[in-house]
Structure 1
Amino acid sequence: MVVGNDRFGFKIIVSPNRMEMKVCFDDKAYNSSNWAPDSNMVTAPTLYSQIATQIGLSGLIYLLLKPFNQSPLVAEVIAGIMIGPTLLGNFSGFVNNIFPFVSTTVLENFMNLGIIYYMSQLGMEMNLTPMLKIRRKTTIRAMAGMVLPMAIGFVSYFLVVPPMKPHEPILPKLKSAFVWGIVLTATNLPDLTRVLAEQKLMRTDIGRSAVASSFLSDIAMWVFLAVLISVSRPEYTIRLCISTIAFMLFCAFLARPALSWLISVTSKGKDYRERQVQFVLCGVLVAALITDSLGLGSLLGAFMFGFTLPSGQLTTTISERIEKVSSWIMVPLYCTVSGLKSNLPMMVPEGRSVMHVILFVGISWSAKVISTFLVSIGSQRMRRPQEIFTLGVLMNSKGLLAMIAINLGRELYLVEVEASGVMMLSVLVMMMSVSPIVKYTYKPQHRMLLHKTRTIQSTGSELPFRIVACLHSKHQIQGVASLLRLSNSTAQSKIHTTGIHLVELTEHAAAAAMLIEHDTHSKSAAGTKENSMNHQIVQSMLALGKENGSLISVDCLTAISRYATMHIDICCIAEDKRAALLIVPFHEQANSKDEPEMIDAHAVRNMNQQVMSKAPCTVGLLVDRGLGKPNYGTTCLIVFYIGGADDREALSYAWRMVWRPNVHLTVVRFVQSDDAVEPTPVEDPDDDGKGILSLMEDQERQKMMDEEFIIEFKNKAAGSSSVSYTEEVVQNGDETMAIVRNVMSANYYHLCIAGKGEKRISVAEMGLSELVEFQELGAIGDAIVTSNFSNSTSVLVIQHYRK
């Protein structure tokens, strides 16, 4: 059979078995490209134009598909198919000028080098520790969930191949069906974690089950691929099996201990030099060369080398070197090469119809869903049908590994030409359907534990004080640590702290999108593959707990998410930990000039606002201006009290700090003048139509609560030398600001604790709302932060828990 025509300068001849192809060139009719019109040699500009075409087209497609929750990989696969004979490959001008057929060899060789490093990076990201922690029941369910898709893949494959002829050998067909069974069995972990991170399902039971099953299925896929390579060459099956087992044993028992020893003797806590990184990168090529020489393929060696490399700073450094180039250039090029081999209009085999193709795609898509339902029925813990369906859809997450399996089947002459196009279409449908279906069909039930200690006041001095502290960078460690020390842990009210290192999730780092829990008792508690900054943050937080003995316990997490949805992770963690106080850093910090911050201030501010609007407990917004500096004298605190729930919560927190040695508290209360004109409440449309009368009643109730609270506070503080209390009479906001300026200029205070005072109607704040630059700080907090009379006083803005 001949595919193509003379106007492209070549003919493709497909063998009768539909698996082998030969390309015949016509030298007279063919020119490589306009870059070299007189030569058939492929020039560098040809390669550059191919890269630019793929990246530009995939970028445009991604912009169109991004509103539909599609990943960049989907856009890259579609762009590759469009560049191939499916669409643009039908135009002779496009083919001869940009993608001449003779350039395919150069393009594939260049792409293969990048894919080798991509597979090594994928191996580095697959940490062995989580696999060892997977429970036996989960492993059994995951393995059971692989059997049915494998069987469905075997059966469904015969829908997209020509009907069997009499006396035709069935063994080649079975090998081809085995390839599709492998593809259906696998669940790509990087794409799965991206979807879970976007839909905020990583910390749910479904998310954990999906990740565990995906991890095991990815490992199983590599085993199946090794088996596939062995059965593709019957005359070498025994030798290939022995070589595979020997290489894996070599990696596990010789290479990994040797690399661990080398890392321990060369690093000694210091940063790795470029020469050491180069040696490891060369090791990837050596491993790929060894496995390719053994007949196992270069990708298996690269993956095993990355999987063998011990976790730590070196792994992170190498992964950062590889990630940008491989994900931005090499993966798109791989999609291009795959698209050049896929001709979707001609994918319907002889003797089959379009309905067979549609049925094949539908059965393939439902394989994981059906297997998940059957496994759930056999499980002791039966989930809701909606959860089972969601889990099944999540297990349909496919990615580059599925494409690699299909292309490997073609290279080994196991998959027929038309069938490979249908397989690629099925994988693309699965990739595109997962995220939208999960987003619009599954809404997790809020089964968070309700607890009463959601505020500082409700915690009191006899209950554990639970705090969740968020950190973006190492510069925020000392300020948060000092605030935790000031919180005054006692034997009756111990402090349980959960430190969260917030890491922004980039587009191509979805494999890491998860919540990492760090081992408190491990010497290397910074964990597995985090960078050095993460290591410093985690170690500093754990050191805080150790230096305070049993009075302050510290747990550390690393939350990797996009800033647009990071507040959901923070609020869920605060709910899980039953926190009474959630501390978040202000988006503008006083950092050292030699180590500038690499965070998006605008995104962090939006995140803080979302946290304050949805927090399940009291929130403290910390503006650190040197709170963590060494202080060998008395720590001076000040509270400006106007009234309302936020101010009562702020003063309650300050009162807790007073009982710590060498702490002095100054309380300045603003009292309304008798002849002051009280402002009239303005009805807020967001208050569910309560009306002016209801608002005025609420204000009177708040005033009564303030009077009772202040009387109680004055009685408790009577005779204490650690507390100074004064009252200032004011008629408007200008007088309030004048008093604040005078007080802050006359004395030095390490920390000012102020209530946010949202929707508070008070004479002391009259006329100040128009002057507030940062609404999340409130009138008093904003005035101190943005003023020039207090450049060294840290500010903690308290917002009382709102139901």
Structure 2
Amino acid sequence: MNMNANETLFEAFTFLNASNHDETYQVCIKTPPNIVSDGLWGGQQSGRTPMRSALPIFELQIIVIFAITHICHFFFNRLGLTLFFSQIMAGLILGPSFEIEPLNLNRYREMLFPFGSQGVLAGVTSMGYAFFTFITSVQMDFSMITRTGNRVWSIALIGLVAPVMAGLSCLSLFSEPLKNALGPHFGDLKVAVLSHSITSFPVVACLLNDLKIINSELGRLALTTALVSDIIGLTVVSLGSAMEQRIDGKLDFLGLTLFFAFVILIPLVSRPVMFWIIKRTPQGRPVKDHYIFAIIGMVLALGWISLMLHQQFVLGPFIFGLSVPEGPPLGSALVKKLQLFGMWFLLPIFVTTCAIKVDFSLDYTLTVVLTIVAFIILTHFVKALAYLLLSLCCKMPLRDGLTIALIMNCKGVVEIFLYHNVYDEKVLSGQAYGVLMASVPILASITQMSVKYLYDPARKYTGYQKRNIMSLRSGSELRMVACIHKASHISPITDFLDLCCPTEDSPITVDALHLIELVGRSLPVFVPHRLQKPVSGSLKSYSDKVILAFDLYERETVGASINTYTVISSHNLMHEDVCILALDKLASMIILPFHRRWSVDGMIESDDKNIRSTNLKLLERAPCSVGILVGRAPHPKDSLLRVAMVFLGGDDDREALCLAKRAARDPRVNLVVYHLVGDDDSGTSNLENILDRSVLKDVKQDYSGLSNVTYREISSNDGTQTSSFIREIVNGHDFFIVGRRHEINTPQTFGLAQWSEFPELGSIGDLLASSDYGGRASVFVVQQQVSNTKITWKF
């Protein structure tokens, strides 16, 4: 190493020896060390210049790492590659492998990473991996281990054992020729086989989150299998590390006893403490900060104790995280506190730091590289084949089985840490470290692209049979899925169910789905409360109001059957849970609450953008008709209800009219159908006009004898006349039913779409819901089932 002490963080250093590309130095450190500098000028006299002080160097390294990472991601993102791939590439660029002779990049590397700074960078950022491990274990539902069936255990166990046995058998069978060909690199093959045989739960969870399929049926199966496989693998590795410790060639029974005591005492002591903290936290209030900081301190302390027991420092944080009850209030608070600093700041730097150590300029031989690559391919082939055959034995479609096999072969940050750890312990050679580190982003990218191509959860809705109210026979059961995000949504939905006029001859079945944001846990949760025996107390308490309200409604209403469910999922994936339930229950309509709520005086009380995002996605891909309910003031149950239906024509309006005619069966409902007609009918085809006249015929003739049904034909030739008419009738009714009419342009609505605030309500629905019109009536906007149509939203 050609440098002087002024180019390092040390006072002096002396070269001792070198062996196997490892150099040993004796260094002299000034105490206290230079943490902060005295500036560019003041440091010249004191010796505390920015480039010889730990903190300025650390800050500069972080800035450069993040800059290069995001520059790489700017280009690789267009190829569909993840940020993880860019983090690895940034490490390779900053490492000794990347060299452009005219630029003399090594000179700048030595300035950016002076001798002695790498340990500070790796030591600080490795806490990011400790926090990542802790957060991941906090989000795990460890009780899932006891609830999974024998089939999942079998799949996980065979998927883990098969590649290990295949790889080790080949190593044993061809040990002599491999030793002769590889020499000291023969031991690297065992690391390659074992590391590529394991399946990491955090890596699988991150992949499924990136692909947005974590709450699909396949995603849930993959997560459960990965959880079981990860627990088995971690148990075997930790137990093996404890039993490898020897004293005078004999097993260290004291160390083994301390290991078991460590593993057992953490949950026994910490779990009751966690529940004590939750008990002392008032309902709806956040956990106090001093509890959070005490837990973070315990994470670091347990990592240090793990090292004292000759284990990986993440073992203690992992077991400690499993002791934390997942979800609110404690689990979600810890995730929110640590996610930004640990996972989004320190962890990416740690990944890049691990990649910086890769040196492709070493004496790589083709034999070593090809042999390691061959064993990696063999391990993954056997592992994928095992999962594929097991999936097919479970009668899973070939495409889904192949997807599961690919997901379980994914690699990521856990493997990066593993290779970094064994390389620092000199178990792995520099050449093998480079090959194995390069294999991780390559396998991660191949897996993501392949799964994205093979599996689309929306394909099950393609070509789905008609599920709407118009397709129902007279007197048949009406099946609906009602979505509830907040307690305030219950009353408007029960009022709407009354409007559907449930009777013994024409019953309704409602699947009420309580949607809760996924915070502080990795596994999405779906609980059918009528079928599920006892559920966890915290989960049941979330949905108590929903369960009690709909149970009471079912008992009081003849002809209504209601099943309640709870779904805990991330907001960007909630629509998948709703679609799956609607598909399974053969629902004809999904009822969605509007994202905005007004107070009695017309002021905006709440505005939830996440609810709106879910509604927009359901309008795009729902397997049945969809209705958005804008709930206003509740209506007395036994009083007269003034209902209006504004009809212009089209599929959505015809669907809405069918619902209005169903409501008219109730004598307490006074229905008025406003048919807006214009002088020019060029906006609709002749077929559409025929269909419109057909559904209106019932209202004009069959319903004309009913005292509670009125048909009125209103002349309107442009959007201005329509707007004026809506303003006239908005306060004359308690409830409006309208069609969304998302693909129809007629003279009656000309110009209204340009002023529409919420396109999901359609032109008429947006006018009725607008606070500018001063209306207090509830509005139900209907969209008939969309088949093979993609809606583009513009804001």
Question: What is the TM-score when the length of structure 2 is the normalising length?
Answer: 0.82
Q: Is the 8 A contact 2:625 2:785 kept in 1?
A: yes
Which residue number corresponds to residue 553 of structure 2? 548
The aligned runs of 1:11-410 (5 Å cut-off) are 22-23=24-25, 38=47, 42-87=53-98, 91-154=105-168, 164=179, 177-199=189-211, 201-202=213-214, 206-230=218-242, 233-235=245-247, 237-267=252-282, 270-312=285-327, 313-346=329-362, 348=364, 352=367, 354-356=369-371, 358-376=373-391, 379=393, 381=395, 383-384=397-398, 386-410=399-423
Amino acid at match of 1:680: S
For residues 185-205 of structure 1, the C-alpha deviation after alignment (integer angstroms, 9 at most, x for no partner) is: 222333423443554544555
Amino acid at match of 2:564: D
SS of 2:143's equivalent in the other structure is helix
Cα 1:545/1:702, change in 2 over 3 Å:
same
Amino acid at match of 1:333: I
Is 1:436 the counterpart of 2:449? The answer is: yes
Q: Is the 8 A contact 1:699 1:761 kept in 2?
A: no
Q: CA deviation at 1:325?
A: 0.8
Cα 1:322/1:440, change in 2 over 3 Å:
same
Q: Is the 8 A contact 1:77 1:428 kept in 2?
A: yes
Amino acid at match of 1:278: F
Is 1:651 the counterpart of 2:660? The answer is: no
Cα 1:381/1:500, change in 2 over 3 Å:
same
Aligned partners of 1:226, 1:797: CA distance in 2, in Å? 58
The aligned runs of 1:526-541 (5 Å cut-off) are 536=542, 538-541=543-546
Amino acid at match of 1:653: L
SS of 1:298's equivalent in the other structure is coil
Q: CA deviation at 1:69?
A: 3.5
Amino acid at match of 2:583: E
Which residue number corresponds to residue 599 of structure 1? 609
Name stretches of at least 5 consecutive residues in structure 1 with no aligned partner.
529-533, 683-694
Amino acid at match of 2:134: S
SS of 1:795's equivalent in the other structure is strand
The aligned runs of 1:490-569 (5 Å cut-off) are 490=503, 493-499=507-513, 501=515, 503=517, 512=522, 514=524, 516-517=526-527, 519=529, 536=542, 538-549=543-554, 551-558=560-567, 560=569, 563=572
Aligned partners of 2:153, 2:16: CA distance in 1, in Å? 46
Query: Which of 578, 582, 589 lines up with 2:586 in the alignment?
Result: 578
Segment drifting more, 652-661 vs 435-444? 652-661
SS of 2:286's equivalent in the other structure is coil
Cα 1:347/1:383, change in 2 over 3 Å:
farther
For residues 576-623 of structure 1, the C-alpha deviation after alignment (integer angstroms, 9 at most, x for no partner) is: 23221112344554479898646369xx46x64553343321111233
Q: CA deviation at 1:727?
A: 1.2
The aligned runs of 1:439-478 (5 Å cut-off) are 439-442=452-455, 446=459, 454-459=467-472, 462-470=475-483, 476=489, 478=491
Aligned partners of 1:96, 1:104: CA distance in 2, in Å? 11
Q: CA deviation at 1:358?
A: 4.4
Question: What is the TM-score when the length of structure 1 is the normalising length?
Answer: 0.81
Is 1:640 the counterpart of 2:646? The answer is: yes
Cα 1:667/1:459, change in 2 over 3 Å:
same
SS of 1:70's equivalent in the other structure is coil
Q: CA deviation at 1:678?
A: 2.9
For residues 73-102 of structure 1, the C-alpha deviation after alignment (integer angstroms, 9 at most, x for no partner) is: 332232223222222797344333322231
Segment drifting more, 642-651 vs 125-134? 642-651
Is 1:743 the counterpart of 2:743? The answer is: no
Which residue number corresponds to residue 755 of structure 1? 739
Amino acid at match of 1:47: F
Is 1:614 the counterpart of 2:626? The answer is: no
Q: Is the 8 A contact 1:160 1:360 kept in 2?
A: no
Q: Is the 8 A contact 1:571 1:615 kept in 2?
A: yes
Segment drifting more, 760-769 vs 484-493? 760-769
Q: Is the 8 A contact 2:461 2:623 kept in 1?
A: no
SS of 2:703's equivalent in the other structure is helix
Amino acid at match of 1:599: K
**How many residue pairs get matched?**
753
Cα 1:796/1:199, change in 2 over 3 Å:
same
Is 1:711 the counterpart of 2:701? The answer is: yes
Q: CA deviation at 1:62?
A: 2.5
Which residue number corresponds to residue 427 of structure 1? 440
RMSD across aligned positions (CA): 4.3
